[in-house]
A and B are shown apart, each in its own frame.
Chain A
Amino acid sequence: MNNEDLQNIIGSWFPNPEAGNVSEVATISETEEGLVESTKTEEPVNPSLLEFTKESCQFLNITVQPELLHRLMSQLKSNSETNFDYLFCLSGVDWEPELGVVYHLESTIHRHTIVVKVKTEDRENPMFDTVCNIWKTAEFHEREVFDFFGIKFSNHPNLKRLFLTEEWEGFPLRKDYVDDINMVIK
């Protein structure tokens, strides 16, 4: 299934209640060539609550709000047209200033791939929903993300540090992590 269809199907699950309004500020609409930014347009805002982009990426990217994450993920898996049953990469990323998680999903039946991103501005206590109950591989991956970035996952069965010892302070893969002994800065 190509990206267009995927985008339409997935986007239709989360219709944007403000879709009918005309916006006067700069809106971003997705086209094949890239992001087009225009001001004072009569085009409606994003018809879906999700943001799609394929710019500078190999796969279709979906950016989703943290509250909708679990709903989106379970629908991605259970819906027979998308059927994303193989989560093959779960990475934490420190997009300064936000912290986020990137999920790479594939369907073993339709063989299409998609990327889901979720971000939060809260660096003190970042929290997302766990997807362990959808894909069992997420259990270890989320522990790793918690270990290195400090992102907590609600309802995780066993959220504790995986690689580093329990007493370790700080979250090493964050960009603002400082460690004079272990880090060698060139």
Chain B
Amino acid sequence: METVTINNNFKSEEYFINMGPQHPATHGVLRLILTIDGEIIKKVEPDLGYIHRSIEKMCERDSYQQIVHLTDRMDYLSSHINNEAVCLVVENALEIEVPERVKVVRTILSELTRIASHCLWWGVMGMDVGALTTYFYGFRDREMINDIFEETCGARLTMNYNIPGGLMFDIHPNFVKRTKEFITHFRAKLPEYDTLLTGNVIFQKRTKGVGILSKEDAISFGASGPVGRGSGYSCDVRKHHPYSAYDRVDFKEALKMEGDTFARYQVRIQEMWESMTIIEQLIDNIPEGEHKVVTKVVIKLPKGEFYQRVETARGELGVYVISTGTKNPYRLKFRSPGFSNLSLLNHIAVGGKIGDLVASMSTLDLVIPDIDR
């Protein structure tokens, strides 16, 4: 729709707008240069690099235990899963078999991280489309998870609880009890989310049919995680390349076919339900045993190339290590999910309105340090 013109001298022409690095709607320091014609967007060009810290170059001079500490600064909302990725690479390369206890605890913590990340996403999604109160409800639930993490891992955001070989210390005695309390609490609260946003007519009108991504485009753009699953592309790494304890739990992959913003939204809500199912299956039967396997102090990977894929809250994170047998990797590349998800923003936003751009971007769930590394 074109803007109303009162004065004939003001013709609709294309002009540039900066959604600058500091902006309430871009979740992090992302600069988008929009070319718009009236209300319709013609082109979206992201300008990255505001939080680029050259993590990949730093990894070339750090030992593997130090690299674990760098990973949770990338996608800080799935920090536990990022740490797990590097630990798995090292363990698979050295062919270390970690105890069952470690695998189960890692899975439980990964799923708790996923729920925490989605809680924050939901709060921010509501805020972006205008329902300002959802932010507080999302954070209220996330605080409970952060408290569990603080007790067991020692930190709320950048946990560093995983180390190559296992966990840094054993879980706190209260961990099981508090996790169960959280699950009971959250099972009652999650339908509240549905009542507030999902069923709301205004919200549905803002998100249905907006930002449509077809399945072929999703695969071609490398979309993964909920973005891919919202378009019908079954890409859950936990199902196709299981790691840790995922091969022994029973859960459904959340898939929707429509490919619009509402479908991606529903996929994430469904994922929260599935995460709770996974935790419930594991929390009562944590096997006894050691919490780590003692590795050498100086870890040297054998010569070769190793790739590990994990499913973070954003999508598929890949860790690609080329090692020449020394104590630092020769080259370490992080395939970040947000990077590929961002590349399709231009594709889904063109032809829509600015309000649609904001709604679509919040379902892509971008965390900019993940993209910039």
Q: Using a CB–CB distance below 8 Å, which chain A residues touch chain B?
A: 55-59, 85-89, 91, 93-94, 102, 104, 108, 111, 115, 135-137, 139-141, 144, 148, 162-165, 172-173, 182-183, 185-186
Given contacts A108-B235, A163-B49, 13 further A-B contacts (CB under 8 A): A56-B302, A56-B303, A88-B316, A91-B320, A91-B333, A91-B335, A102-B320, A108-B233, A111-B240, A137-B222, A140-B339, A162-B49, A164-B52
Per the bound structure, the CA–CA distance linking A173 and B334 in Å amounts to 14
Q: Which residues of the other chain, A, contact B333 by a CB distance below 8 angstroms?
A: 89, 91
Cβ distance B30 to chain A, nearest Cβ, rounded Å: 12
Contact of A140 among B52, B233, B306, B342 (CB under 8 A): B342
Which residues of chain A are within 8 angstroms of B48 by Cβ–Cβ distance? Answer: 162-163
For the complex, give the distance between the alpha carbons of A186 and B316 in Å.
32
B307 within 8 A of A: yes
Provide the residues of chain B in CB contact with A111, threshold 8 Å: 240
A140 CB to nearest B CB, Å: 4
- Distance (Å) between the CB of B133 and the closest chain A CB? 36
Complex CA distance for A173 and B329, rounded to whole angstroms = 13
B346 to chain A: closest residue by CB: A139
26 example contacts (A-B, Cβ-Cβ < 8 A) are as follows A56-B303, A56-B304, A57-B305, A58-B305, A58-B306, A59-B307, A85-B219, A86-B219, A86-B222, A91-B331, A91-B333, A91-B335, A94-B331, A102-B320, A104-B307, A108-B219, A135-B222, A137-B222, A137-B340, A137-B343, A148-B56, A162-B49, A172-B54, A172-B57, A173-B56, A183-B57
How many residues of B are in contact with the other chain, CB < 8 A? Answer: 38
Residue of B nearest to A94 (CB): B331
Cβ–Cβ contact B331 & A87, under 8 A: no
CB <8 Å contact, A104 and B318: yes
CB nearest neighbor in A for B52: A163
Which residues does chain B contribute within 8 Å of A56, judged by CB atoms?
302-305
Task: Check B222 against A87 for contact (C-beta < 8 Å).
Answer: yes
**CB within 8 Å for A136 and B217 given contacts A87-B222, A172-B54, A173-B56:** yes
